[in-house]
Structure 1
């Protein structure tokens, strides 16, 4: 408050005026509203009419300002010791310094940064600006001290999580670096918690020295599982590639294993379609064309100019990789897409090879033929894909390949060979308990995708496992009554029932006479429409649960089966225990593949001498730190 109010009072009759204490004059406060009041008129009044009062006002104002300065100085002024401490750097054991070092270590692990970032001028200036008292540790301190400390923190958290898991599924693979003479063996784990939430973690990406024999891999498995105190009884399955050494190693280790579905599809496509002479010749010409643009910047510039002239999107041609069949699919797709631009280029400039009309037709038809495989590869490579997806996918894929389409002319032999390859590679999937039971407890599929002669066998497998996990009850299955349920898809007049597809003696669908343009999803729906729901007379509580569950309507394919079991585990407790075990299994080893993609960013050309132990700790932190946060 201004010192002038020592000489005035607010008028009780009208707040717009102030009354002088000396002469009792009413002085306007400067406006009609309180927001516009000021003290200028009051100061002028005492200056003009009361010089002594004005002098006293000036002295009081100076004294008030000085008290404010003294108070501010008293509250902000630091002692000599405090000033000195403020300029001193934190000791490395200071809590604040340790916290900052840990965050920098997390940054290095999560963002694939080298340890040398501690010596980079820009990063050091940024940290100094944010915290002047922090002394940046050395590169060696991060690699030898901070990394093991953070690894221990994350390790303890993962160890606690995995100790509570009942049934655990694993993936494994071997990777060799292209920039360093290093090979690494991976081990990832996943399981379902009591709320049917999928938990994934990376356990190892350790160096695999020497020859990759089955015996060496078995010894590595024994050490890894012993490190995490995981007994073989808790191992549900290990998903691995189709290599003989890996299959033999898991067998000798004494646990169940399944081949990676993506690898199996790779073998089927390469052996059944891409190896055909006319297709291989067309692909060879396509690779030569792509190689021309890949090694000539001038050719690339000319090709881009032609794309712009034709009002086409500017896109580069894609080179395939021999170990990824879908990269060959994308290569063919891009060649077909850029046919006009390539033809225009060949008219003006020289190419090392050109595709003739027959070869263009083959590439286009092969793109259409392999489209379901590409879609299926995407589906099974998702994080949510499980072993339950294998049987429905194989049944739908074989049915689609068995259909004869007018567009198959020119690749009909390749289509037949592809069908044979898929049937041979996936022979017996319906009899594999891990696949069969997982499919039955997936509420999107249940028993609808089994052949009629395999459905009873799969159901017996499920009942046996339910009894075993329920404590060995005496529930038994009676004779099949053969009655249809009230499933709306089975009613008369359903358009999906109008067309049946009888099977040949070899079990494959018989090709229809008319040409079709159908997708993989159409096959899923068609199989559902052809499968009746069978009701059975049962005795015993667990068997009753199974048949009640199987008799209910399927959930949509896009819905999550884990959410279904979270909501229905109270209704079907015996089945929920089976689902919690069997729905943990992935159908591919994609988790290990993705892990090695991350490893390739750690062991790269700039860090090709990093120690494998440090690389494993960095990957372990990168993949598992989000579980702790």
Structure 2
């Protein structure tokens, strides 16, 4: 088929310049040139300053086919440009969690042929090689970063892919450059049973491989028995995930007969509006009439306790719109309404539960047994003691506060001192002990900062004033309250290990998750980690 023709009224060189009065500005390098109704100066600029740009000789009122216009002025695909394109394709695969089969798609081939007609689309083997090079480069950068920190915390959890393979992902958290940083260390397929011994071996091996032996302060995990046992005989503290512990506690509360019936009734009501287009549209109409927020009802998910709080809050907000819809016989049958309507006792219980659930939802501190003095040395309490917002520990009783402070002072000499300096302590004796106590007392005299201020930023600004305590702050404040960072990896990992990627080896799964979460999701690598 003969291509259509387009009439060209201006020289092609104008594709690379903007006109401004008696000057033109190059779109490529922003250089300003004089303009006197001739394109000669502009053509010479492109010819000598931008040799990779091709411009056809001047020929006013020429006829060009559309296919020629598509490639007019394009850059030659030099070997360097071809290699850069290949690297970018590899980044697309890792950044967008695409299968390697993406490069075999006809649509992608057509798109790339339009942009780079001279470029030969690489094979999967070539793209895999580039991903491996990116992974090696990123691992090297991360090792260099981790070598500069003294304390880290890790989180760990297991997940199962569609291929039924079991994986364990470890994330790492540390304080550097005045902020808490997080990264994925590795994702490994577990061919053996998830026994405590196997998990402990995997954790220890990973820590050693990354040069973190002696630096790990704590491992945050769910309350699974095998994870608790795996962290029992290691050189770090075992910290149960706050969110998971809270989930278990609330699930137990929901087992109460009255609450269980309420949650069930609310779930059925929400489900009705989710599955009935007529009811859903009627609810929107009543919301407008009653001037209520145009919010959808929230469905309860048993694995997410806060979804219950959201469901009840939304039902309470939309109570009268829901009541009107259920009372309208043109929308809801009488038999359905009798089954779905909440009684007054239900609404009363919802009003009583909401403040409690909302408080739990916004809680950010791990709930531990605050009456057991054995917990005085636990990381959550020591972290609270080092938090300039909560250092007075007013949420504890007096006996527990004193126990935490005593434990703190007893350990400050060892914990706040690098290993290489500990042997020098014998030369200072009580002087070092008194210096530590003075620093602690001075810290307590400082006014508390507002709850919404950044704790890490405060320590970053006051490191020189509290050198010993600052080191302790880096140790205890890097421990996350939840293992959610590890869980967030699952969604990305699940995208990788789906049916289109079922042929990926565990090593390549590890590489893709590692690159995606570290290069593209973590601020500490955003500026300089791209290979």
The SS at the match of 2:383 is helix
> CA separation in 2, counterparts of 1:334 and 1:583?
35
Displacement of 1:140 in angstroms is 4.5
Aligned counterpart for 1:182 among listed residues 162, 165, 168: 165
1:248/1:299 CA distance change after superposition, 3 Å: same
> CA separation in 2, counterparts of 1:425 and 1:109?
45
Aligned counterpart for 1:99 among listed residues 84, 91, 97: 84
The SS at the match of 1:584 is coil
What count of residue pairs does the alignment treat as equivalent?
446
Q: Show the counterpart of 2:93.
A: 108
The reply to whether residue 224 of structure 1 matches residue 233 of structure 2 is: no
Contact residue 196 and residue 562 of structure 1 kept, 8 A: yes
Gaps of at least 5 residues in structure 1 are: 1-34, 36-64, 79-85, 381-388, 395-422, 478-537
Gaps of at least 5 residues in structure 2 are: 1-21, 23-37, 49-53, 57-73
Where do residues 182-581 of structure 1 align in structure 2 (5 Å cutoff)?
182-193=165-176, 195-231=177-213, 233-271=214-252, 273-347=253-327, 348=329, 349-350=332-333, 351=336, 352-376=339-363, 380=364, 389-390=365-366, 394=367, 431-449=376-394, 450-468=396-414, 469-470=416-417, 471=422, 472=425, 540-581=434-475
> CA separation in 2, counterparts of 1:463 and 1:165?
23
> CA separation in 2, counterparts of 1:87 and 1:171?
48
RMSD: 3.3
Contact residue 221 and residue 253 of structure 1 kept, 8 A: no
Which sits farther off after the overlay, 452-461 or 288-297?
Answer: 288-297
Aligned counterpart for 1:601 among listed residues 487, 495, 508: 495
> CA separation in 1, counterparts of 2:398 and 2:370?
21
Displacement of 1:301 in angstroms is 3.5
The reply to whether residue 146 of structure 1 matches residue 130 of structure 2 is: yes
> CA separation in 2, counterparts of 1:437 and 1:88?
62
The SS at the match of 2:390 is coil
> CA separation in 1, counterparts of 2:165 and 2:188?
10
> CA separation in 1, counterparts of 2:259 and 2:401?
38
1:77/1:437 CA distance change after superposition, 3 Å: closer
1:310/1:548 CA distance change after superposition, 3 Å: closer
Displacement of 1:170 in angstroms is 0.7
Displacement of 1:610 in angstroms is 4.3
> CA separation in 2, counterparts of 1:429 and 1:288?
45
1:311/1:539 CA distance change after superposition, 3 Å: closer
1:230/1:87 CA distance change after superposition, 3 Å: closer
Contact residue 373 and residue 403 of structure 2 kept, 8 A: no
> CA separation in 1, counterparts of 2:288 and 2:182?
46
TM-score (normalizing by structure 1): 0.65
Cα deviations by residue, 1:150-170 (Å, 9 ceiling, x for unpaired): 211111111211122211111
The SS at the match of 2:231 is helix
Contact residue 476 and residue 543 of structure 1 kept, 8 A: no
1:141/1:298 CA distance change after superposition, 3 Å: farther
Contact residue 379 and residue 476 of structure 2 kept, 8 A: yes
Indicate the structure whose relative CO is greater, using CA pairs within 8 Å and at least 6 residues apart. Answer: 2
